[in-house]
Amino acid sequence: MDDDYSLLDVFWTMLWFFVWILWLFLLFKVIGDIFRDHELSGWGKAGWLIFCIFLPYLGVLVYVIARGKGMGKRDIKQRQDNEAAFQDYIRKTAGTAPSGGSGAHELARLAELKDKGALTEEEFQRAKAKLLA
């Protein structure tokens, strides 16, 4: 059995392995941000990609220093857009979309308008029959 590989060596190996994995995550995040940035021209995207591929550690570090603030803003905007799309999907699926809405929602709105006096009984009955048909 070889005793040249001590517990400290195992620790350092694990540490460098995890640092390498963290760097890979950062590299993929940077590449994703390069493609997500609509303000960056095609040549700019190609330049950053070449820089990050051929000088990976330096390229990623320079990108984070130069464009890190915008990277965070784009990430927040994408999350807000995703949340808005998700909420819109839920409204449409549940039938409570502000544009059309479900029959029950429309009927409740008609009853509210009738109670406020905006609709007469005849108008309410006609709209209700049209809605239920």
Residues 68 and 105 in one domain: no
Span 21-41, pLDDT tens digits = 999 999 999 999 999 998 999
Which residue is associated with the tokens 């051929």? 54
Count the neighbouring beta carbons within 10 Å of the beta carbon of residue 60.
Answer: 21
Is 1 a domain residue?
no
Residues 79 and 125 in one domain: no
Is 2 a domain residue?
no
Q: What is the pTM of this model?
A: 0.59
Residues 40 and 80 in one domain: yes
What residue type is 103 in one-letter code?
Answer: G
Is 75 a domain residue?
yes
Above 80 in pLDDT, residue 100?
A: no
Short-list 96, 108, 107, CA closest to 130: 107
Residue pair 71/33 in contact by the 8 Å Cβ criterion? yes
Residues 17 and 77 in one domain: yes
pLDDT for 65 equals: 94
Residues 16 and 79 in one domain: yes
CA dist 100 and 79 (Å) reads 26
Distances (CA, A) of 39 to 33, 42, 48, 71: 11, 10, 14, 12
Q: Looking at the 3D structure of the chain, how many domains does it have? A: 2
Span 110-127, pLDDT tens digits = 888 888 888 888 888 888
